[in-house]
Structure 1
Amino acid sequence: MAVKKGNVETTPPVEEKREVVRDEYWQLADDFVQIVNRARQSYQERSPGREIDFASLFMGSRSGIICMADEEGIPKITVTGEETDNQGEKRTQRFFIGLQAGAATKDKAFLSANLAKEETTVKEFEVSAQGHRLIREAIDKAKEVGEKIQRKIDEENYEWYPWHHVEPSQMSINEDKEPKINLDLVVSLVASGRQVIKNELGAKLEGVKVLFVKWTENFEYADTDGTRIDHVVPRLGFTIQVKTKDGSEAFGAIRGAMGGMEILGRYGDVPREKDESDRDYYVRVVTELAKEVAKEAIDLDRAQGAGILGTECPVILSPQVTGALVHEVYGHTSEGDIVCENRRSKTAHLTLKSRIGAQVSDYPNFTIVDTGAPEMKLGRKRIKYNFGSLVVDEQGCPAKETLLIERGIQVNVLNDRFTFNEILEGLKEEIAEGIRKHGLTGNVRRDKYDMPPQVRMTNTYLLPDENGPNSLKEMAAKIPKNKKGVYIKTCHGAWVSPDDGTFTIHGNLCYLIENGTVTDKPVKGVRLTDNVAKFVGKIKSVGSSKTIDRTFTGYCGKDSQWVPVEGGGPLVYLENAKLGGGHYRSWSELVKEYVRQHDQVLKGQRTRDGVHLPEFAEEIDKKIPQAKVCLLTVAMPPDDEVDWITGRREYSEFSLRDGELIEGGDWFE
């Protein structure tokens, strides 16, 4: 059953009537219920600041398939198989398995343990036993930090807001409808994609990376509010990255969630022929994607530099680039933890909370939603297998469709139990009432088990204006003929500094607009840069649903954590958009350095204040900590993406060795 609100229609992911094959460790969620409740009862105190308000246990793991061609072009597969335990039961191997305990007093604390440092499966009894110790450690830590907050309340009149509690839910979720993928087909697709690139680019080619990934995100969760979840959600991606000998970087991807190989055909731009086999169809899809990437690389090699556009000009954003704009400019500034941290920041130049209930866009039909649903209908365009989709978030709250901006007015933000009440304080009553009625939005996510939960976007879309232009040609005709403009067709990604509002979108392949027409003259190096606070009047036209083709899929980095996300919408016309100058290294090098520095922060090798990228320094105030910059990328470097999926970077406070929790990990030692 579809649910329609305004002109957006979402399809709940759990409506389908079918038997759920539960995650193999589902019974641990039942154990966690007992553990957290007993721990709260056993360690409860009445001293101010030390009262236990909330406790939780979360076990996270991933399994799946990774296939990437090596330097010689030979596809190499990493796949989690099956093991047989002492009772003869088969267990699916996991790339990693870890446990996180959370506790809240006047403040909150999260501690984690790597349960399978040298293994690919775990024993339930050992997990339960270590859950008792880990939750006790987390409670002790929460009491310690809670006392500090209580002293600030008593001595400094510190503003503190109670945590929000919800009605409990119990759910078993498994959206993995194709757990076993044809490995021969995967190898064939990776090899085919690479060969097409070589054939199309020939001597122009410097290097090519083709990557297929299909993984499941598994977790068991329980808390003292009574919520109990066991959960399996699959994601799949096929990506091609190319570099030419002239230094051009081109990229193409098809990604999605809550499906199997059919995700490769999600955009419908390669129609399936009658009686066509899966292999033949998917090879054609990959071939077309590779040809697109090769053409982009060729056009970039012959492209003019962005200097021909000056420092300001009319800009049209493709649907993919619209997704990046929506995510950075309107999404991160609507994440509750960022909003709350911003209002307490001593370095912030922009007050994000003041945007709630205020006009954030002058365009009359400007509406943005964030939804965990895997299928949506935006106007007349249906989008399926949305890459950032969730059924429930990682604190057990159902993932909702949240209307963030309605006709230019910010009406809600994404939240969690720790930010909900602070967000409500001081808002206009009609806005506050709408937020209270909507409740928790279901946007709590983690990079993995060894990172604290954050408020994160899922799939964020600008809704079409059905009275707007129906094509790129119509949109371009709005630009005065005496002005040069640019159409940003693809982008590498974007970043935003929430504390001062500076944002930048890094265009990749663009085309010059002359005489109100998009030409075939490619332009490269276009960087759209502006400020959230000054962007209210920049959007002059939003296209109809006929202009929506593809979406932006990628990874979002925030405070050292990465999550898969999607964004999109129709064509968008910006009047007199500001273009950035200065020197930037290649986008792939920028992302790699961003990942490296944040990895060093987590390992204690660099302070948060020590995060510094020259590209950010050119745009944002030097007093703003660069560690707060959120970065969206269409692609991680392939090795970093593989490391992320398999959890090779590990930051747990504890490890399970010989049946005991040992403090510190390899990085710690």
Structure 2
Amino acid sequence: MKDLLMEIVNYGQDLGAEFVEAREQDSDATVFHIEDGRVESIKQGIESGFAIRVLARGSWGFATVNAQSELREATENAVKMAIITSRRIREPVNLSESEVVEDRVILKPDINPKDIHIEEKLKLFSRLNDYVLNYDKIIRSCTIDYADITGKKWYVNSEGTVIEQDVLYVWSRIFATARKGEVFASNREELGSTKGFGFLKETSAETIGERLAERLIKQIKAKTPKGGSFPVVLGSDVTGTFAHEAFGHLAEADLTISGSVLAKKLGTRIASPLVTIYDDGTIERGFGSFKYDDEGVKSQKTVLLKDGYVVGLMYDREHSAKMQKLENLMVPTEMIAQFNAKPTGNARAEDFRSPPLIRMRNTYIIPRDYNFEELLEDINFGYYLVSFRGGQANLDGTFQVGIQEAYEVVNGELGEPVRNVSISGNTLETLRQVDAVGKDFELRSGRCGKGQVAYVSDGGPPIRVRNLIVGGAD
């Protein structure tokens, strides 16, 4: 495969491209969907394909094919595309420098999902589905999605980088609903690992099902929250969602340069000095961890926010080069020496059909020194928000997040559960309102959509926010 991809890279250069990269992917996947005890769909199969991306006359061209016999034609099409689009671009694309690498990355799964027969996988998750549905009569539905992907991918470029890298993902999402009278509740669990099937062997279906079902029952019995601005403690799950959705996307350099609220804040203090945020592609057991991204750049631990100051962004090679030109305009003079605009290993493609985009990996707030009781003790009345249901964030920094499990905090103690809670506000103002950060740390696995799907983790410790807008409705 190496020789074939190098041949295609050389062919692209012969056609006039200044830069050429070729990716090849082989994957073996099992995907199924279970709904209310019925297996609705199963897909198993092996897939392979190629991606060719070229830079010619300052513009990108991209083509993707399944067959080796079509590679030369695909390369020709990519070069033609780049030349045609180069006539309309305002600013030619440049790439920042990247280390030339030749490497083979081998993964050793705890339990290879390929070694688990499909019948055993279906049996495990069907048992989970049945357990949730039978836990209490108020639980009305349960759906489960499962996927495992194993294989390898190659990356070769015209600068001399050659990487062969194993791929391994095991993922599942469980979603259940309950109703009692006019009260409706929903809850979700998302599980993922890059180590293999072992984590599903370690945790029983009954344990996962009970956790999900008990949340639903609590929410059905819960009352609606008071609306207004209150002190809140965000659980690790919500902390991670906030770090990812409300802040992380703002720090993806393509979105920053396009006008996110961080564009005018680089190098400045925007948050409490207690807040430090990393996007880390190296953390053990992170669902977004890998050694090299889809531009052949080594993954790393990237600090985005340090003691409240914006000190970094997430880059691919193109936007790293753009930012290096813009640094003097966008970063305060006294901070330029501390601001690093080199590629960070955040260029990720969903598969061979897609060109790489800047994507998060494992995004989290680092822990400090408060225990959970200390986070609660200064709150006369507020809320403890345990896990999120979904939400959205905008480039202007505004956000709204739904919460699927929450409790009142009264006189420093946990109180009654509340349901259908939402929080909203401005990311920068919320970060400034953080006045205590816990010592316990958790990561959760999930998926992120940005035109393409990427496997990620987010998390952190519980944190206390002095004032946050809380709302809710039946």
Structure 2 length-normalised TM: 0.91
After superposition, where does 1:61-100 map in structure 2 within 5 Å?
61-73=26-38, 77-80=42-45, 93-94=46-47, 97-100=48-51
Secondary structure in 2 aligned to 1:212?
A: strand
Partner of residue 371 from structure 2, selected from 443, 447, 470: 470
Amino acid of the structure 1 residue aligned with 2:449: G
SS in 2 for 1:232: strand
Separation in 1 of the partners of 2:334 and 2:5?
39
Contact 2:99 2:297 in 1 (8 A): no
1:384-413 deviations in whole A, cap 9, x for unaligned? x21111111011111111111111111111
Q: Structure 1, residues 109-135: CA drift from partner, whole Å, max 9, x if none?
A: 3433341xxxxxxxxxx41x3221112
- 1:320: how far off? 0.9
User: Does the aligned pair in 2 maintain the 1:30–1:228 contact within 8 Å?
Assistant: no
Q: Which residue is 2:347 aligned to?
A: 444
Separation in 2, partners of 1:74, 1:534: 46
Paired residue for 2:198, among 262, 265, 282?
Answer: 262
Letter in 2 for 1:490: S
Q: Distance in 2 between matches of 1:434 and 1:227?
A: 29
In the TM superposition, what is the alpha-carbon distance from 1:167 to its structure 2 partner? 2.5
- Number of the residue aligned with 2:364: 461
**Residues 287 and 581 (structure 1), Cα distance of their counterparts in 2 relative to 1, 3 Å cut:** closer
Distance (whole Å) between structure 2 residues aligned to residue 162 and residue 68 of structure 1? 43
Query: SS in structure 2 opposite 1:412?
Result: coil
1:186 aligns with 2:186: no
Q: State the TM-score, normalizing by the size of structure 1.
A: 0.65
Distance 2:388 2:151 in 1: 28
| Deviations, residues 171-204 of structure 1 (Å, cap 9, x unaligned) | 2223252433322542332132123213312x21
Q: Residues 580 and 205 of structure 1: is their aligned pair in 2 closer, same or farther, counting only changes over 3 Å?
A: closer
Aligned to 2:149, the other structure's residue is in SS state strand
In 2: Cα distance, 1:215 partner to 1:311 partner: 45
Kept in 2: contact 1:166–1:225 (CA 8 A): no
Residue of structure 2 equivalent to 1:251: 188
Question: Which amino acid is 1:214 matched to?
Answer: D
Residue 408 of structure 2: which of 507, 512, 531 is its match? 512
1:420: Cα distance to partner? Answer: 0.8
Match of 1:366? 275
Note the C-alpha offset of 1:325: 0.5
Is the 2:65–2:74 Cα contact (8 Å) retained in structure 1? no
Q: How far, CA to CA, are the matches of 2:9 and 2:93 in structure 1?
A: 23
Q: 1:557 aligns with which of 432, 441, 449?
A: 449
SS where residue 304 of structure 1 aligns? coil
Alignment-mate amino acid for residue 196 of structure 1 = Y
8 A contact 1:110–1:452 mirrored in 2 = no
In the alignment, the residues of structure 2 paired with residue 237 and residue 536 of structure 1 have an alpha-carbon distance, to the nearest angstrom, of 31
1:233 aligns with 167
Gaps in structure 2 of 5+ consecutive residues: none
Q: Is the 8 A contact 1:554 1:564 kept in 2?
A: yes
389, 396, 420: which one pairs with 2:296? 396
Q: Note the C-alpha offset of 1:496.
A: 1.3
The 8 Å contact of residues 54 and 78 in structure 2, kept in 1 or not, is answered as yes
* Alignment-mate amino acid for residue 69 of structure 1: I
Partner of residue 489 from structure 1, selected from 377, 382, 386: 386
Q: 1:529 aligns with which of 418, 424, 435?
A: 424
Q: Is the 8 A contact 1:556 1:562 kept in 2?
A: yes
Match of 1:638 in 2: none
% identity of equivalent residues: 22
| Alpha-carbon contact 1:57-1:135 (below 8 Å) kept | no
Q: Is the 8 A contact 1:373 1:390 kept in 2?
A: yes
Shift of residue 292 of structure 1?
0.6
**1:90-112 Cα distance to aligned partner (Å, 9 max, x none):** xxx23xx3322212235433433
Quick one: which amino acid aligns to residue 458 of structure 1? R
Matches of 1:77 and 1:162 in 2, distance apart?
44
Aligned to 2:3: 30
The CA deviation at 1:351 is: 4.3
Alignment partners' CA distance in 2, 1:251 and 1:331: 22
**Tell me, what secondary structure is at the counterpart of 1:534?**
helix
Measure, in 1, the Cα distance between the counterparts of 2:199 and 2:140. Answer: 30
**What is the count of residue pairs matched by the alignment?**
464
User: Structure 2: which amino acid aligns with 1:492?
Assistant: R
**What's the CA shift string for 1:593-638, capped at 9, x where partnerless?**
xxxxxxxxxxxxxxxxxxxxxxxxxxxxxxxxxxxxxxxxxxxxxx
Alpha-carbon RMSD across the aligned residues, in angstroms, is 2.4
What are the superposed Cα offsets for residues 328-376 of structure 1, whole Å, 9 maximum, x if unpaired?
222111111111222xxxxxxx542222211121x2232111111241x
1:262–1:340: structure 2 CA closer, same or farther, 3 Å change rule?
same
Return the alpha-carbon distance in structure 2 between the equivalents of residues 552 and 457 of structure 1: 14
Deviation of the 1:508 alpha carbon: 1.0
The structure 1 residue matched to 2:313, chosen from 401, 406, 413, is 413
Distance in 2, Cα, partners of 1:397 & 1:432:
23
Instruction: Name the SS for the 2:401 alignment partner.
Output: strand
The correspondence of residues 334-353 of structure 1 with structure 2, limited to 5 A, is: 334-342=251-259, 351-353=261-263
Contact between 2:11 and 2:72, CA under 8 Å: does it hold in 1?
no
Correspondent of 1:325 among 228, 231, 242: 242
Select the structure that is richer in strand: 2
User: 5+ residue gaps in structure 1?
Assistant: 1-26, 45-51, 81-92, 116-125, 153-158, 265-277, 343-349, 376-384, 584-669
After superposition, the C-alpha distances for 1:430-482 in whole angstroms (9 at most, x for unaligned) are: 6444455x73211111122222211111001110112xx212x2211121x2x
Structure 2: distance between partners of 1:216 and 1:110: 29
Among 68, 73, 79, which residue is 1:133 paired with?
Answer: 73
SS of match in other structure, 2:461: coil
**Counterpart residue number, 1:59:** 24
**Change over 3 Å in CA distance of 1:322–1:109 after alignment to 2:** same
Secondary structure of the residue that 2:345 maps to in structure 1?
coil
Work out the CA distance in 1 between the residues paired with 2:216 and 2:36.
20
Specify the SS of the correspondent of 1:148: coil
The yes-or-no answer on 1:574 pairing with 2:465 is yes
Give the 3-state SS of the residue equivalent to 2:71 in structure 1: helix
CA contact (8 A) 1:67 1:186 kept: no
